[in-house]
């Protein structure tokens, strides 16, 4: 029988206290199986400490070259040596977590920039990290509460919407469902705020777990993806 697997990966671990605790809650109460840690933010250490309390949630490296720039390709031009920056963030991850990441991706998916992709592919290949969008794991990004014009669309991240996505978009093989759950701290500078709390509610809704079971989808983490080879 064809098997359907889903990695539910929460981005931005370490970006703020509210996001850290929201991701932890989405794992403990909801369907999040993995997260991606930003290592160069004020709450990165707190995230690492929290992450070590839930070893069943795999933690990858969320390379951050952009902050919250609206133009990631322009933002990365500030770096003279991209390779050194990637290596530095990997070393920082190992200091924080005491281990290698289980997977690799980048804030605002800037790793897809043609100037950077070869460096990410080299790093991923050296350590056999699944790199978002460039491994055997299909990347699904439509669970997101804004459209290209920047307008908020909470209906896109509702329980009904996610249920339909799971039913129509998740087929045989392994799919990564990317998400951004969290609580919003006062004064937190981000263009994606109330959408995070809406995602958290949806990902933690018991009906989503029931839907996943009904569809025969098995939740796994990136640690299990690596173990499968």
What predicted TM-score, i.e. pTM, was given to this entire model?
0.93
What is the pLDDT, as a whole number, of residue 71? 44
What is the pLDDT, as a whole number, of residue 67? 57
Can you point out the beta strands (E) in 30-125? 34-37, 58-63, 104-106
C-alpha 61/C-alpha 28 separation (Å) is 21
- Which residue in this structure is represented by tokens 């759950």? 181
* Domain ranges for the chain: 4-228
What is the pLDDT, as a whole number, of residue 72? 46
CATH number for domain 4-228, candidates 3.40.50.720, 3.20.20.370, 1.10.10.10, 3.20.20.60: 3.20.20.370
What is the pLDDT, as a whole number, of residue 81? 80
- The tens place of each residue's pLDDT in the chain, 229 residues long, gives 559 999 999 999 999 999 999 999 999 999 999 999 999 998 999 999 999 999 999 999 999 987 554 444 445 555 558 889 899 999 999 999 999 999 999 999 999 989 899 999 999 999 999 999 999 999 999 999 998 777 899 999 999 999 999 999 999 999 999 999 999 888 777 889 899 999 999 999 999 999 999 999 999 999 999 877 6
Tokens of 15: 């970006």
Can you point out the beta strands (E) in 97-220? 104-106, 138-140, 173-179, 217-219
Q: Is 79 exposed, middle or buried (0-12, 13-18, 19+ CB in 10 A)?
A: middle
3-state SS assignment for residue 163: helix
Pair 61, 36: CB distance under 8 Å:
yes
What is the pLDDT, as a whole number, of residue 70? 41
């Amino acid at each position: 029988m064809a098997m359907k697997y889903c990695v539910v990966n929460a981005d931005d671990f370490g970006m703020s206290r509210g996001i850290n605790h929201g991701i932890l809650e989405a794992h403990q109460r909801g369907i999040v199986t993995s997260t991606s840690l930003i290592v160069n933010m004020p709450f990165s250490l707190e995230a690492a400490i929290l992450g070590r309390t839930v070893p069943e949630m795999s933690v990858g490296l969320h390379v951050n070259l952009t902050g919250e720039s609206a133009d990631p390709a322009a933002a990365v031009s500030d770096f003279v040596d991209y390779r050194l920056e990637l290596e530095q963030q990997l070393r920082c991850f190992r200091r924080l977590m005491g281990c290698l990441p289980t997977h690799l991706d980048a804030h605002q998916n800037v790793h897809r920039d043609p100037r950077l992709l070869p460096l990410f592919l080299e790093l991923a290949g050296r350590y056999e990290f699944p790199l978002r969008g460039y491994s055997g794991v299909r990347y699904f990004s439509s669970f997101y509460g804004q459209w290209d014009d920047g307008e908020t669309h909470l209906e896109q991240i509702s329980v009904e919407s996610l249920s339909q996505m799971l039913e129509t978009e998740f087929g045989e093989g392994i799919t990564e469902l990317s998400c951004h759950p969290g609580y919003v701290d006062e004064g937190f500078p981000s263009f994606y705020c109330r959408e995070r709390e809406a995602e958290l509610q949806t990902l933690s809704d018991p009906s989503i777990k029931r839907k996943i079971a009904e569809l025969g989808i098995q939740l796994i983490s990136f640690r299990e993806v690596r173990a499968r080879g």
